Amino acid sequence: MSPRPLRLVFAGTPEFSVPYLEACRASGAEVVAVYTQPDRPAGRGRQLAPSPVKQAALAAGIVVEQPESLKSADAQQALAAYRPDLLVVVAYGLILPRKVLAIPRLGCWNVHASLLPRWRGAAPIQRAILAGDAESGVDLMQMEAGLDTGPVLLERRTPIGRDDTGGSLHDRLSLLGAEVLADGLRRTLAGEVLAATPQPKHGVTYAHKLDKAEAKLDFNRPAIELERQVRAFDPWPVAEGEIAGEPLRIWAAHAIEADHHAAPGSVLAAGRDGIDLACGHGALRVTAVQRAGGKRIGAIDYLNARPELRQRR
């Protein structure tokens, strides 16, 4: 008699989580239910919209649960009724109480987009870019009651390039995380018990949730820090700054060496290569912007609308 398949419940909400759900489905485990956050208002009409995970689950014919919280006895009993061997949690967005962590036979796994214990918390991808980290990665972790404190089961690393944005690193880590989850499930289904390595006690940092107020560029700071800000906040919340008195969203920029004595934020040069803005150290060469009510355009197109800037040197 063949053993029964691994019964798995998946919990996730945003687009980042969808590849992980697909990895669970492809693993050979039986995905008996998907948990995701309740539908939220979205778009100009503020109509209730299902999460990307809900859409993927319904398309696959999987039962979807959307409790407002998992703290109630009813919600916990409903989860226990699925008799899960394992709960896989990826960017779910709700706190899992201790009683929930104890329901699955094999506990709960989480895939976190950082190299723990660095960047525990809500925004590890953007915080890594802002800090100038040379690399990031994904950790498959056995969940505990603390915030991203559990032992690490598997890990994958990736360098952070000078051209990486919050969006590009997000997409790469999403796929890398799906790979590490698939590897963990494959080995578990084969009967292997994954070694749980406790996180080091040193090197702990917290990736606090992004605040839109952080998007404002302060040109008194070094250009390299502003470059990281622009990259980290693409595609959200998008960096903001002024060019010759006009507030703009700054979509793309890079730091350059520049020896100047100009006031921070002033235009040093403007041309086909971009618009160079004076910083506390060096200059920020802006290459893509967005005017109020407009769309993203290249610096050369912006200069066509403001030809007087071309005379700045």
Per-residue pLDDT of 59-108, as tens digits, reads 999 999 999 999 999 999 999 999 999 999 999 988 899 999 999 999 99
- Say how many Å lie between the first and final Cα of the chain, rounded: 80
Largest CA distance in the chain: 82
115 is in an annotated binding site: yes
Q: Quote the pLDDT of residue 47.
A: 86
Model pTM score: 0.92
Q: Quote the pLDDT of residue 2.
A: 47
What is the percent of the chain where pLDDT is above 90? 93
Q: Is residue 153 pLDDT above 60, yes or no?
A: yes
- The CATH number assigned to the domain with range 7-207 reads 3.40.50.170
Q: Is residue 1 pLDDT above 80, yes or no?
A: no
Residue 220 CA, distance from chain mean position = 28
pLDDT tens per residue across span 255-286: 999 999 999 999 999 999 999 999 999 999 99
Q: Is residue 303 pLDDT above 60, yes or no?
A: yes
Q: Look over the chain and give the mean of its residue pLDDT values, rounded to a whole number.
A: 95
248 is in an annotated binding site: no
Q: Is residue 311 pLDDT above 80, yes or no?
A: no
Which of 13-22, 35-44, 189-198 is least confident? 35-44
Kindly tell me the sign of the dihedral angle through the C-alpha atoms of 111, 137, 202, 187.
Answer: positive
Which of 145, 149, 157, 156 shows the shortest CA–CA distance to 184?
156
117 is in an annotated binding site: yes
Q: Is residue 3 pLDDT above 90, yes or no?
A: no
Query: In terms of pLDDT, which residue wins out, 37 or 311?
Result: 37
48 is in an annotated binding site: no
Residues of the chain with CATH 3.10.25.10: 212-311
Residues of the chain with CATH 3.40.50.170: 7-207
CATH match of 212-311 with 3.10.25.10: yes
